[in-house]
Amino acid sequence: MQWLTLKEASEFLGVHFTTLRKWADEGEIRVFRTPGGHRRFSVADLRRFLEERVRHEVAPDSEAVLSVAVDRVREELQKIPHDTGGWAHQTDDEARDLQRQRGRRLFALAIAYALKPNQRERVLAEGRQLGLEYGREAAESRLGLMETGRAVQFFRAQLNQVLHSSETSHVLDADDVRVRQTVDAFLDEVLYAVLSGYEQSLR
């Protein structure tokens, strides 16, 4: 069984370590303590936790949107030539896996933001936190600001393409101006958070 520290587990989930610590203390996610009192999380538990949160936040019939979006990202990433450099090839396999996890989380939150008006405040807070974390890590890994922005726009473009796909039109009516505006407003806030996190790491 693979074990992660609090920092590693928070990066795996795409949330701030204080958020994960709060979830663990409240019993929302299983945590183990070392003899020295340090928290440890199993990767298997973290994966189950992610799946449960996605199912909870995304309506059953909108799972199709999430599935199509994730598949599209995987396909489009494979099309980016390695010799072009850029954000898609400036990270190792572990970092790319983390990016995919965060992309899936971002999609789930965007869909929940559009479909669940009564949860928008909480969903937006999680989206902003996700953006802050990505911005900080991008700066710390010396990924340029332009490439960081391109990475965010890549995931945004894939989600918008999926929302306009015939495969998902039965869930979200992307021709409805209100739906487009709602999703765009959420993604704008995430982008602002990414830039803020990037800027904070440079101070």
pLDDT digits (tens, 9 = 90+) for 50-59: 767 655 555 5
- Tokens representing 124 are 């937006």
DSSP state of 93: H
Measured distance CA(156)–CA(150) in Å, rounded: 10
Q: Torsion over CA of 168, 172, 175 and 180, rounded to 10 degrees?
A: -120
List the single range of 103-112, 140-149, 156-165 with lowest mean pLDDT.
Answer: 156-165
The mean pLDDT value of the chain amounts to 77
pLDDT computed for residue 188 by the predictor: 92
Work out how many domains the chain is built from and give that number. 2
pLDDT computed for residue 39 by the predictor: 92
Helix 145-163 × helix 93-115 angle, to 10°: 50
pLDDT computed for residue 192 by the predictor: 92
Q: Are residues 100 and 180 in the same domain?
A: yes
Closest C-alpha to 54, from 108, 9, 12, 120:
108
Give the residue-averaged pLDDT of 92-104.
70
Q: Are residues 70 and 26 in the same domain?
A: no
Q: Are residues 144 and 94 in the same domain?
A: yes
Q: Are residues 42 and 76 in the same domain?
A: no
Residue numbers of the domain that contains 40: 1-55
pTM of the model: 0.63
Q: Are residues 83 and 177 in the same domain?
A: yes
pLDDT computed for residue 136 by the predictor: 86
Q: Are residues 64 and 39 in the same domain?
A: no
Q: Are 110 and 127 in contact (CB under 8 A)?
A: yes
pLDDT computed for residue 9 by the predictor: 86
Compare 99 and 185 and report the one with higher pLDDT: 185
CATH number at residue 9: 1.10.1660.10
Q: Are residues 78 and 17 in the same domain?
A: no
Q: Quick check: 149 pLDDT over 90?
A: no
Question: 17, 32, 55 — which closes off a domain?
Answer: 55
